Amino acid sequence: MDAHTTTASVAAALRPPRWLLPALAVAIGYYLGARLGMAFTLHPHPISTLWPPNALLLAALLLTPRRDWWWLLLAALPAHIAAELQSGVPTVMVLGWYASNCSEALIGASLLRAFVRGVPRLDSLRDTGILLLTAALAAPVFSSFIDAALVRLIGWGTSDYWDLVNTRLFSNALAGLMVVPLILAWAAWLAAGAGRMRGARYAEAAVLFSGLLAVCLHAFAMPHNDAHTAPAVFYAPLPFLLWAAVRFGPIGVASALPAMAVATIWGTVHGLGPFTTETPQDTAREMQLFLIAASVPLLLLAVALAERARIERESRSQLTHLSRVAMLGELSGGIAHELNQPLTAILSNAQAAQHFLANKPGERAILSEILQDIILADKRAGDVIDRLRAMFKRGETRTEALDANRLVRDVMSLAHGDMTTRGIEVIPRLAASLPEISGDRIQLQQVILNLIVNAADAMSMCAPNDRLLTVHTLATKGRVHINVVDRGPGFTVAPDILFEAFYTTKPQGLGLGLSISKSIVSAHGGRLRAITRKGGGAAFLITLPALPRRP
């Protein structure tokens, strides 16, 4: 065994098993959740108004493959015992509650898995609907029966069976509503690479959450002396929740709702706020119903908005892809030419080499030159195919740091054949040094290619010497510009009309190219404008935000 394999096997042996981190997270989360649940108890009755551990366990199960579930359930046991034993409950009852808590998580997760493949998505109404029905309804209902039965069986306390079912049901349903979407939303955000937000977004989120907390504390955690509460008080958090739904989507609402719940429960537990009745049970019930009634529609609203945005995004990406493929179809003659050139060079070089070998076998220098050129030509053909394949691919939008000059050069070589056959000379005027831009390489290439092809179309009637197309790149403060300038006849209509969908001047045109180009540039936080130049011809100006220069 050599050193490498030894190191590798040692590393493999030392690498923690896949379930270890989730299990640890579950243990810690479960313990903290249980302590929080206990703090949310309305004294003198030991009734928790919000019991997070079960929902937390359920969410953890949803995020893990089924074969690892046992590890998570096992990890919850020490946490459960550690939390419960502090409250002086008999060991049998502690274990019984562990069993019923696990049953809730298992019922919820198994039911959900039966209807939804993989982790439920919070940008799908169907997934979220099933999530609410299983995690916030079915699981608490069924496990409450088990739980109440166990309590009666062990003989802990004096409560009536149906009271126990009731109490537990609401507390766990509320927890399911608050905790499961929260964890799933943040897990999805992390899985998507924890998308970077701009500073302004962070500020907005901070304002939203502090506003929400302030309103909730004021409405639900201030001393309430009046027997009568103005109904408007209950609507006070609504603007903030709507704000979260519209501006931050499911993750915003899934985070805002628990914040509101914690503030409300804290107030109620301390005898503050509008939820005050004769008995702690009724107080808890009223508050829980209020929170549930507020949560479900807002969560569904955010999900519906997110779903619509997702569908729009998907269809836009399909349309973008289709128009890209259509454009490549138009270019196919030029691309064939582009591949034919290196093939010609390879063939003629090889045949020349045969002649040289037959007639002047001593000349090694020329043969080596020939081979060098064959390699160059072959690589060039390979590059053409690579670029083409990338353009044809229909992929997710991928954001990366890009060099505008490189984008222009790639597009120029892709269009080279087409431009040559049309007798158009493309002149690059590229800035020596540009800050990077952030975006999807293929989509931005599509935009530049579209502009170059349009410019070429516009110049088809020009005299040979005038068929010049210039592509400029330059940087101004915080911006990168890519300008495509032609010497065609310019526009006969207002430039804005060019960008409208289905407007076209070409006999075979769909009229989608420019409108898609504009939406791509807008999605990159930039602008695409068209101007008629004074000296004749048109210019299309792309402006994109620059990334900060690397130190």
Partner 1 sequence: MSFAQANVTVVDDDVLVLRSLDRLLQSAGFQVEIFSSPHDFLEKRGANPSGCIVMDLSMPGLSGLELQQALFSTRDARPVVFISGQGSVPASVQAMKAGAIDFLTKPVDEAKLIGAVRVALDKDRAAREHRADQAAITARLSSLTPREREVLIGVVAGKLNKQIAAELGTAEKTIKVHRARMMRKMGVDSVAELVRLWTLTQPPQA
Residue 240 burial by CB count (10 A; 0-12/13-18/19+): exposed, middle or buried? Answer: buried
**Residue 375 binds partner 1, judged by CB under 8 A:** no
Write the CA distances from 101 to 178, 255, 378, 432, integer angstroms. Answer: 17, 24, 66, 65
Pairing type for strands 437-439 and 425-429 reads unpaired
Minimum CB separation of residue 467 from partner 1 in Å reads: 8
- Complex with partner 1: residue 78 or 382, whichever CB lies closer: 382
Query: Helices 125-133 and 91-115, interaxial angle, to 10°?
Result: 150
Cα–Cα distance, 10 to 377 (Å, whole number) = 47
Candidates 163, 204, 330, 373; binder of partner 1 (CB under 8 A) is 373
Candidates 359, 433, 476, 492; binder of partner 1 (CB under 8 A) is 359
Cα–Cα distance, 325 to 118 (Å, whole number) = 32
- Complex with partner 1: residue 464 or 535, whichever CB lies closer: 464
Long-range contacts of 144-148 (CB under 8 A, 24+ apart): 144/168, 144/169, 144/172, 146/99, 146/100, 146/103, 147/97, 147/100, 147/103
Tokens of 299: 């969560």
**Residue 181 binds partner 1, judged by CB under 8 A:** no
* Footprint (CB under 8 A) of partner 1, residues 89-118: none
Minimum CB separation of residue 363 from partner 1 in Å reads: 10
- Complex with partner 1: residue 189 or 356, whichever CB lies closer: 356
Candidates 351, 399, 460, 505; binder of partner 1 (CB under 8 A) is 351
Minimum CB separation of residue 551 from partner 1 in Å reads: 40
- Complex with partner 1: residue 28 or 375, whichever CB lies closer: 375
Whether omega for the bond prior to residue 545 falls within 30 degrees of 0, making it cis, is no
The percent of the chain in helix, strand and coil, each rounded to the nearest 5, is 65, 10, 25
Cα–Cα distance, 300 to 403 (Å, whole number) = 41
Candidates 39, 343, 461, 493; binder of partner 1 (CB under 8 A) is 343
Are the C-beta atoms of residues 79 and 22 closer than 8 Å to each other? no
Residue from 157, 7, 30 nearest 81 by CA: 30
- Complex with partner 1: residue 148 or 426, whichever CB lies closer: 426
Minimum CB separation of residue 486 from partner 1 in Å reads: 14
> Amino acid identity of 473?
T
Tokens of 369: 């030159």
Candidates 128, 349, 445, 543; binder of partner 1 (CB under 8 A) is 349
- Complex with partner 1: residue 154 or 353, whichever CB lies closer: 353
Binding mask 55-94 for partner 1 (x = CB under 8 A): ----------------------------------------
Rg (CA), the chain: 33
Which span (18-26, 226-234, 288-296, 337-345) binds partner 1, by CB under 8 A? 337-345
- Complex with partner 1: residue 183 or 424, whichever CB lies closer: 424
Candidates 152, 218, 316, 380; binder of partner 1 (CB under 8 A) is 380
**Residue 347 binds partner 1, judged by CB under 8 A:** yes
**Residue 365 binds partner 1, judged by CB under 8 A:** no
Are the C-beta atoms of residues 366 and 355 closer than 8 Å to each other? no
Cα–Cα distance, 364 to 386 (Å, whole number) = 33
Dihedral (CA of 323, 324, 325, 331) sign: positive
Using CB under 8 A as the binding criterion, the count of chain residues that bind partner 1 stands at 36
Cα–Cα distance, 444 to 150 (Å, whole number) = 63
Minimum CB separation of residue 354 from partner 1 in Å reads: 8
* Footprint (CB under 8 A) of partner 1, residues 413-452: 417, 419-426
Residue from 172, 232, 222, 191 nearest 50 by CA: 172
- Complex with partner 1: residue 157 or 423, whichever CB lies closer: 423
Cα–Cα distance, 49 to 273 (Å, whole number) = 15
Minimum CB separation of residue 423 from partner 1 in Å reads: 4
SS3 of 427, please?
A: strand
Which span (105-113, 251-259, 312-320, 370-378) binds partner 1, by CB under 8 A? 370-378
Give the residues lining the site for partner 1 (CB under 8 A). 333, 336-337, 340-349, 351-353, 355-356, 359, 366, 370, 373, 376-377, 380, 417, 419-426, 464-465
